[in-house]
Structure 1
Amino acid sequence: MTINTFELSTKYDPKLTESKWQKAWETHQVFKAEATKKEKIFCMVIPPPNVTGSLHMGHAFEDCLMDVLVRYHRMSGKNTLCLPGTDHASIAVHSILDKQLKEEDKTRYEIGRENFLKRAWEWKQSSGGKIVSQLKQVGLSADWSRERFTLDEGLSKAVKTAFIKLYEAELIYRGKYLINWCPASLSAVSDLEVENREVKGNLWYFRYPLKDNSGYVDVATTRPETILGDTGVAVHPNDERYKKLIGKTLILPIVGREILIVADESVDSDFGTGSVKITPAHDPNDFAIGTRHNLPFINILNKDGSLNENTGEFQGQDRYEARKNIVKRLEQDGFLIKVEDHYHSVPYSDRGKVPIEPLLSTQWFVKIEPLSKKALKFLDEDNSPRFIPQRWTKVYRDWLVKLKDWCISRQLWWGHQIPAWYVISQTDGLITDDTPFIVAYDESEALEKARKEYGNDIQLKQDPDVLDTWFSSGLWPFSTLGWPENTEDFATYYPTSTLVTGFDIIFFWVARMTMMAGYFTDQMPFKDVYIHGLVRDENGKKMSKSSNNGIDPLILIDKYGTDALRYTLIKEVAGAGQDVTLQYNRKTNESESVEASRNFANKLWNAARFVIMNLKEEIRDDIGNLNTEYLDLADYWILSRFQKVTKQTINHIDSYGLGEAAKGLYDFIWSDFCDSYIELVKSRLSENTDSSLGAQQTLAYILDGILKLLHPFMPHITEEIWQTLTRKNNEFIALQAYPTSDLNYIKEDVETSFDLLFDVIKSVRNLRAELDIKPKTKASVILQTESQTTQNTLKIGHKYIQDLGKLNKITIVSELETETEQVFTGVVRNIQVLIPLSGIVDVPLLRQKLGKSLNKIENEANTLAQRLGNSKFIAKAPEEVVTKTHNALEEARQQANILRERLQHLHE
């Protein structure tokens, strides 16, 4: 495969360049890590995107941050592994396949588990690679030969091993508890997969009659349908209104069931009526109260959210249909007191997008406290892992402290089926909460264990549930490296170096990984956790599907290129953990900020073309060799600036200041190298002198260094230019050494001198612009200063002032002689800058031209002022029009003042 052309086209085309290098990197396995190299290790496992997913801006941002670190450490000489993979995403895949089956008028239950899983694997093979191809398109420099999938053979072995070890340590148990149930996906969901939404609802007030007919107790609820499952009413023991009623019995409306009034300190006497209806099987707080007071637990719901056989005439009705009918019935029977509007938080299933139902269910759980305590010990004793920014440490700690036991079973088929087999008799074959079970690695092992304990006349049936997706992804940092086997990858790369992830996943994933790793490997799974912010839309709002304000990164990549998007996302980061606001025009799919990065790429491309075209063959064959005898003052200046920006870039990346690093490189490349140094040396390049060789050596050295510094941020364009510059065969900039700062080249005195020279050059250019002197017209300048030090600097740098100021003569004096000719004057620092006008400026004509411009501006200003002085205009015009008019007036007045000053100057 030919990848080098050794010449740059006149125009940079990111589409051609980026796809070419993505293919070349993969073909040549540029990013393949070697586990046999045991020293200087850097390892990062990427947060596995859902196999159902496609690239969104959050992915792109995270991938760019990760890749900068990965490429930087690889170029810094470390044995670097970036390990990619995807998550099987149980609920998401089920949603896709259930939708497909619905279109065929089928359900998964009709086709059966085996056929459903066959379809799932077929879908994964045909569509599941979409997100991976898009990660490659972003330029993620991962070792794709090590790509993992949470359902692959190795990870499945790790999951079974982890489950069995936790069960044998009595950290996994099966029990009947209140869990979050999603009626849409027909599965349990964890607390972490519940999104609380503030909604406008109602608060219904009802009266429950006392059995002895001595009165009523009033209750309030936001879920009237749960009345059918009430088994008690709770009041605060110190509430004077109800003290005498504690222990008495109420008759539950509609149902007629007798329920007890109990005293419980958890009741808030100030909310509602101060008495709380207790539905232990359908509310977490009620579950706790019911348990404390031995109240009955009555389930009223089917798994699809409809009412079950315990609800009498309402059986089969959807929960919200039943709500209306129950309220209507209670109103007819005289038990409804009033209804109030009520804003309250309703828990929604993050995947199913419907309100969850607390449901009493037999599930599998992990005891969290022993695992979280071990993770907390690592944090307290070793500050491990280290969070960047540090403020997220407290969030992580607080979460570990408050975690409850983790429900890990899901009523789905796509995923890791729980390695437990129920021992059922040959006669009925039923599974109940009391059915004994065997936990084993496979069915043959389970059968052997079961026969030893229960005899030969048995049969086994594997638990149909699968494990929560977060169980397998909690093992990700070490299972992907070969655990539970002590593989070479595991021995070399574990624990990993850095985890890059969003703050919103600390609870979902980071804590799961640290707890699992602490228990199974006795180490934290990563040294650093770099927490990044969000990419927000053009209005600063969080992107979400519900808001329909997402920005498709692939559209911007197609328009501006991958490198432009990468650089924008990284450069816009104000600091570690900060959000990024991306400018975007939804009508045109254009982004000013990404366009600016594309322009930066074009600037670099054009500068590189100029440099390469002006290098002699011997210079290109020996890039990096600097013969100091050939170097000029400008060469020392750019070398000093380069060494400084190298040092700054390294310091920023090492401290995760990626945005600061990108901004520093942008300023150096655009301003110092392209706009200043290249202009300073142009006249030397045309000479056949040692000075010309010095300029060429320096240009090649700095361009080579720039490309290496910039490569982690903009990998494709830097690879293309570097290949052309160096003419290497089957070598890659991605594998070159990252520049290091040579302090011998940092010369503060030279930089100070050039700061002065650039100020003078800027002043000369401004005076030329004010005088409307054409670029091709050479002018002369008088520089007057009493400082001998300043005069020396001006004399040393007079050629640079002359070249960049487009001057034919520079006169440096201590005092001005009596003026015999008209001059135009500016002041910079302690220097007067004077341009003689004779022969280059027609002063009367210029005055006339400026006068016409001034009259035009003044007329515009008067018109705008009259408009703003019109009360009808102010009253009727839209606010944005009035504001725009004010701004236009202010701008016109500023322009008029500038013209007046120029005219006055010419008269003087």
Structure 2
Amino acid sequence: MTENAPQQQTDLPATWSPADEEAALYQRWVDAGYFTADASSAKPPFSVVIPPPNVTGSLHIGHAFEHTLIDAVTRYHRMRGAEALYLPGMDHASIAVHALVEKQLRAEGTSRRDLGREAFVDRVWQWKNEHGGRILSQMKRLGEGVDWTRERFTMDEGLSTAVTTIFKRLYDDGLIYRAERLVNWSPELRSVLSDAEVEHKEVEGELVSMRYGDGDDSIVVATTRVETMLGDTAVAVHPGDERYRHLVGRSVELPLTGRSIVVVADEHVDPEFGTGAVKVTPAHDPNDFEIGKRHGLPMLTMMDEQGRITGTGTEFDGMDRFAARAAVREKLREQGRIVAEKRPYLHSVGHSERSKEPIEPRLSLQWFVKVGPLAKAAGDAVRSGEVAVHPPEMAKRYFDWVDNLHDWCISRQLWWGHRIPVWHGPDGEMVCLGPGEQPPEGWTQDEDVLDTWFSSGLWPFSTLGWPDDTADLRKFYPTSVLVTGYDILFFWVVRMMMFGIYATGRPPFATIALHGMVRDENGKKMSKSAGNVVDPLEWMDRYGTDALRFTLTRGANPGTDVPISEEWVNGSRSFCTKLWNATKFAMMNGATCARPVPEPDALTEADRWILGGLATVVSEVDDQLADFQFAKATETLYHFTWDELCDWYLELAKVQLYQGEPERVEATRAVLGHVLDTVLRLLHPLIPFVTERLWTTLTGGDSLVVAEWPALHGTDARYADPVADKRIADVRKLVTEVRRFRSDQGLKPGQKVSARLTGPGWEDLAGHAAAVRSLVRLTEPEDGFTASAAFEVALGGGTANVELDLSGTIDTVAERKRLAKDLAVAEKELKQTEGKLGNQAFIDKAPAAVVDKIKVRRETAVADIERINSRLAALPVS
């Protein structure tokens, strides 16, 4: 029997240093071609495309979260034997690029209109080539296993061909048309904005009530945008409102304009709100537009593309919209037509996400997609089960969008983007041309470009070579899963579904796996104004990429938001350190994967216990990752690795390594090697860097990226042993209770104490006696042993009696002094909590959660007082 196993050298440094290792590990993966998918492979395909980040973007915490999940599921399927493709790329982001480059031009004293279209586009390409795509290099920092040989950009030649092809097909099928409609207008960008590019904010404005007409023919309306009254073409009242029945069909004078406008009756009007009468400006308000269509009202555009008043024939023409607001109000006041003013008046106003200005609803001639038949097909694909939404309860949100879609405005008055492939003739003719087709001489191309969501909607198949019949398209389309946030379910997901089915006849993915948004540790939305935005790159520098990834996956329950804090990332770094130290210890003590694990009957109960638990964990994690249950998989692995493997099996293994017979030592080394090999494989999709470094050193294998997943690697349940599980559970309980007693007695952790253990529970653990005594520093009793303290522990195999000789081990005076101090603290806490709970006024006002917390504090104080008094009573009299 050996007391100490010989320590061996390893190739692992003393500590895990992410900054020194991660970049080299990643480059090695790329150079080896591990992420490069083979379209000719006989392996089953697993494919996923990255939600293309903006070319102007940098890695924020939302990217880090989403990309970690995509990478984890791709690594998992690659290890399971799939031909895995994770395809990267970027979106050309018209609005974002315009805002950025135009800001640069302003700083130079010029503008895009000074440059002209061609020079401006050249300038954008120059910027893109020099500065765009920073996020792609940051993705490497995150460890993303993307196929860089297939990197795509929405303005690439191939993707541009796809855009032109599908536009022409839609146009020829009557699904793209041009019409005047009300749109979100940005005066600063002089362009339409999509709903995705408009954010609504509560702002303080004013509500002005003003009188149209005079005497019995007068009527009072209210608005937050006084200047728009210059474009009014009607006043609307409810058909059942008796107050205004005499005015319906008649005209009232519209102040300041010299015009009269009609009073119409419309069901849309709420007679209980305000005066029950509303001004109607059809060309500048969505609801008014619908009223205008129902009643055939004139649609007077009273604001130009820069937000200036125009075409009203008044003194306000040429004024900026905000200056006009004040001027119109003052003029109405002079005429005695202001009935009431309410300020500040809090109301929701749409703002441009990029330029931050209030947007204007504006009637404009634009290009639209008729979404009816496309949306129906997208809805049917989910209803039929052809496409699964995960979690299933999120399908309702999908249907809420897809079943209520309005025609989609796809034109933008910008210069950077895919130009609409329609040419206009000298007499108003129009022709749509496909790739390679030439326009008639003298015809001019439409000035507008397409909404970036149009090209993004083609992403799952245009990136694979569509409209050509490519090997990539045949192998990897439809893609396997779309991992994306529920917040862009409408803006991106539905559009990909519509276009994918229309273009290919098949949905673009088999599963839509929805995740939530990353929030701060208090569950609040992150924003610069709130000061709670975090930079994932800083945390990766500080704690390592694996620590950030592990924290993110640990909170990733499907469809729900994810809180995150720096403290939790630091905790994940501790997990990586624990894993590093455990593997290093095992290797220094001869852990090996070179020999197979012995048969069950040649192993100890501790060996069978950890192997049986490992088989259960492999099965659970396999199911959890297959079901996109990232948080459950992470928790399962965290607790098994930290609690079962590191805290218990390694401690039990030390006894077997240091005190066992040679054959037992070799068996323990094989078990340790196998367990660590398996755990590192399971953890690899979540924390790829540290696991790669440890696994390749432990096993000598090439890379975990292409290693087999444990479920395919031979881990099975034949080592499961219920008796061993019960005995190890008893060992853990007994050791825990003895450690707690030692702590209560103030014994130092390494201090040895003479003890006698008896009882049926202890006899049942005879095979673990050496391990128990070693773990809790209990020596065998010698002749003349006299117990000065004793307690019982109820175990599954019966009661274990523990008697200890504490004589000479405790400084009684010092211990009494320490306990007296602790008792005073506990008694003060009890007094404070009972005082609050006895105050009925406090109980009535305080939130239930606060009251419950104080009750728990009181119960804890009572238990502490009882424990301390018991300890004081047990101390020997000095």
In 2, are the aligned partners of 1:783 and 1:832 still within 8 Å (CA)? Answer: no
Q: Does 1:383 align with 2:385?
A: yes
Spell out, residue by residue over 1:607-642, the C-alpha distance to the aligned partner (whole angstroms, 9 max, x if none): 1111111227xx45x255545564222211111111
Range moving further from structure 2, 308-317 or 408-417: 308-317
Q: Deviations over 1:676-713 (max 9, x none)?
A: 11111213324561111101111111111111011011
Query: 715, 737, 749: which is aligned to 1:763?
Result: 737
Cα RMSD for the two superposed structures: 2.8
Given that 1:199 and 1:346 are in contact with CA atoms closer than 8 Å, whether structure 2 keeps it comes out as yes
Q: Distance in 2 between matches of 1:362 and 1:402?
A: 23
Q: C-alpha displacement at 1:866, in angstroms?
A: 9.3
- Secondary structure of the structure 1 residue equivalent to 2:171: helix
Please tell me whether the aligned partners of residues 833 and 858 of structure 2 are also in contact (alpha carbons under 8 angstroms).
no
**Which residue of the partner structure matches residue 643 of structure 1?**
615
Residue 695 of structure 1 corresponds to: 668
Take 2:832 and 2:699, find their aligned partners in 1: how far apart are those partners?
63
Which residue of the partner structure matches residue 579 of structure 1?
561
Over residues 371-412 of structure 1, what are the superposed CA-to-partner deviations in whole Å (9 max), with x where a residue is unaligned? 1111122222x2242111111101111111111000000000
In the alignment, which of 527, 544, 548 is matched to residue 565 of structure 1? 548
CA shift for structure 1 position 868 = 9.9
Q: Deviation of residue 15 (structure 1)? A: 0.8
Please say if residues 757 and 802 of structure 2, whose CA atoms lie closer than 8 Å, have aligned partners that are also in contact: no
- What is aligned with 1:592? 567
Q: Is the 8 A contact 1:781 1:833 kept in 2?
A: no
Residue 847 of structure 1 contacts residue 903 of structure 1 at CA under 8 Å; is this kept in 2?
Answer: no
Q: Is the 8 A contact 1:567 1:662 kept in 2?
A: yes
* Equivalent of residue 350 in structure 1, options 347, 353, 363: 353
Is 2:820 aligned against 1:855?
yes
The answer on 1:497 being equivalent to 2:472 is no
Q: Which residue of 408, 416, 423 corresponds with 2:410?
A: 408
* Partner secondary structure for residue 303 of structure 1: coil
Alignment of structure 1 residues 217-616 onto 2, 5 Å: 217-341=219-343, 342-380=345-383, 382-424=384-426, 435-441=428-434, 445-447=438-440, 459-573=442-556, 575-583=557-565, 591-615=566-590
Is the alpha carbon distance of 1:521 and 1:640 closer, same or farther for their aligned partners in structure 2, counting shifts above 3 Å?
same
1:245, distance to aligned residue in structure 2 (A): 1.7
Report the AA paired with residue 659 of structure 1. Answer: A
Corresponding residue of 1:667: 639
How many residues end up aligned between the 2 structures? 851
Aligned AA for 1:232? A
Q: Give the match for residue 156 of structure 1.
A: 160
In the TM superposition, 1:804-815 aligns within 5 A as 804-809=775-780
Alignment of 1:683 onto 2:655 = yes
Which deviates more from structure 2 when the two are superposed, residues 668-677 or residues 360-369? Answer: 668-677
Q: What is the match of residue 843 of structure 2?
A: none
> Separation in 2 of the partners of 1:657 and 1:290?
50
CA contact (8 A) 2:656 2:668 kept: yes
Residue 99 of structure 2, aligned match among 95, 104, 124? 95
Mapped to 1, the partners of 2:267 and 2:750 lie a distance apart of 90
What's the offset of the Cα at 1:159?
0.4
Q: 1:185 aligns with which of 178, 183, 189?
A: 189
Unaligned runs of 5+ in 2: 1-8, 840-845
Distance 1:402 1:461 in 2: 36
> How many angstroms apart in 1 are the aligned matches of 2:870 and 2:139?
57
Deviation sequence 1:544-585 (CA, Å, 0-9, x none): 234332111111111000000100111133x312222112xx
Partner Cα distance (1:498, 1:153) in 2: 26
Partner SS, residue 228 of structure 2: helix
Structure 1's unaligned 5+ residue stretches are 426-434, 448-457, 584-590, 812-817
Q: What SS does the corresponding residue of 1:35 show, helix, strand or coil?
A: coil
Asked whether the 8 Å contact 2:209–2:341 carries over to 1, the reply is yes
Q: Name the CA shift for 1:856/1:82 in 2 (closer, same or farther; >3 Å).
A: same
Counterpart of 2:3 in structure 1 is: none
8 Å CA contact retained: 2:217, 2:252: no
Decide whether the 8 Å contact of 2:419 with 2:446 is kept in 1: yes
Contact 1:824 1:906 in 2 (8 A): no
Instruction: Measure the CA separation in 2 of the matches of 1:645 and 1:75.
Output: 17
Could you tell me how far 1:539 is from its partner in structure 2? Answer: 2.5
> CA-to-partner distance for each residue in 1:29-76, whole Å, 9 max, x for gaps?
211111112442211111111111111111111111111111111101
Deviation of 1:232 after TM superposition, in Å, equals: 1.7
SS of structure 2 residue aligned to 1:712: coil
Comparing 593-602 with 541-550, which one deviates more in the overlay?
541-550
Q: Partner residue of 1:452? A: none
Distance (Å, rounded) in 1 between the aligned partners of 2:528 and 2:561: 19
Per-residue deviation, 1:894: 5.5
Given the two structures, how large is their TM-score scaled by the length of structure 2?
0.92
2:150 matched to 1:146? yes
Matched AA of 1:857: D
CA separation in 2, counterparts of 1:643 and 1:691? 22
Question: 1:849 is matched by which residue type in structure 2?
Answer: A
Structure 1 CA distance for aligned equivalents of residues 300 and 803 of structure 2: 100
Task: Using the TM superposition, give the Cα deviation of residue 227 of structure 1 relative to its aligned residue in structure 2, in angstroms.
Answer: 1.0
Counterpart residue number, 1:705: 678
Deviation at 1:761, TM superposition (A): 1.6
| Distance (whole Å) between structure 2 residues aligned to residue 16 and residue 475 of structure 1 | 40
Which stretch shows the higher mean deviation, 385-394 or 187-196? 187-196
Provide the rounded CA distance (Å) in 2 between the counterparts of 1:152 and 1:759. 64
Contact kept, 8 Å, 2:391 with 2:513, in 1: the verdict is yes
SS in 2 for 1:402: coil
Q: Counterparts of 1:681 and 1:861 in 2: how far apart (Å)?
A: 40
- Structure 2 counterpart of 1:732: 703
Report the TM-score, using the length of structure 1 for normalisation.
Answer: 0.89
How far did residue 784 of structure 1 move? 3.4
Percent of aligned positions with the same letter in both sequences? Answer: 42
Change (3 A) 1:690 1:851: same
The residue type paired with residue 690 of structure 1 is E
Report the Cα offset of residue 250 of structure 1: 1.7
CA distance in 2: counterparts of 1:255 and 1:606, whole angstroms: 82
User: Separation in 1 of the partners of 2:802 and 2:32?
Assistant: 60
Kindly indicate whether residue 110 of structure 2 is the aligned counterpart of residue 78 of structure 1: no
Supply the distance in 1 between the matched residues of 2:210 and 2:462 (Cα, whole angstroms).
Answer: 55
For 1:136 and 1:810, locate their aligned partners in 2 and report how far apart those are by CA, in whole Å: 60
Shift of the 317–887 alpha-carbon distance from structure 1 to 2, 3 Å rule, reads same
1:722 Cα deviation from its structure 2 partner: 0.9
- Give the deviation of 1:774 after TM superposition: 4.1
Structure 2 CA distance, aligned partners of 1:578 and 1:278?
41
Q: 2:793 matched to which residue of 1? A: 827
- 1:299-355 CA-to-partner distances (Å, cap 9, x unmatched) read 111111111243521122111110110010011112211112433322222333222
